[in-house]
Amino acid sequence: MLSYKEKELIKDYLMRYNYFNLTELCDYLIDNGSSGDTYSTGKYKIYPYVAVFLESFVPSSVMEIKKNENNVQYKIIGDLSIKKEIKDNKESKEEDTITETGQLSLF
């Protein structure tokens, strides 16, 4: 199971890269503190958890998936909801700032 931090790292990775493979994403997670434990085949133990999270988090209409014997390659072909989420959060913070600075206090 992935931690909150690992899920956030995956979101960060998706914001940076439009084309990647699952092993590269696992390497990124390991470089940032995730466990590097592997199965006897050499595949990372976090590999299936990352794959499941990606497929549940990113709609299939936004991501193209190519599978081969050793790895899975992803290509982002649409607009990710996390990009929209981040943009909406920035806009709402800006609106909050404007509202807060525009108010007068009677006390």
Least confident piece of the model among 1-5, 81-85, 99-103 = 99-103
Residues 60-66 have a mean pLDDT of 78
Specify the 3-state DSSP secondary structure of 96: helix
28 versus 72: the higher-pLDDT residue is 28
The 10 Å CB-count burial string (b at 16+, else e) for 19-53 is: ebebbebbebbeeeebeeeeeeeeebebbebbbeb
Provide the pLDDT for residue 72: 85
How confident is the prediction for the chain on average, in pLDDT? Answer: 78
| Residue 55 to residues 11, 49, 81, Cα–Cα distance (Å) | 13, 10, 13
Whether the per-residue pLDDT at 37 is higher than 90: the answer is yes
pTM for this entry: 0.69
> What pLDDT is stored for residue 90 in this prediction?
46
pLDDT of residue 75: 86
Backbone angles phi, psi at 59, to 5 degrees: -60, 145
Q: 8 pLDDT band (50/70/90 cuts)?
A: very high
| Angle of helix 22-31 versus helix 47-57 axis, rounded to 10 | 110
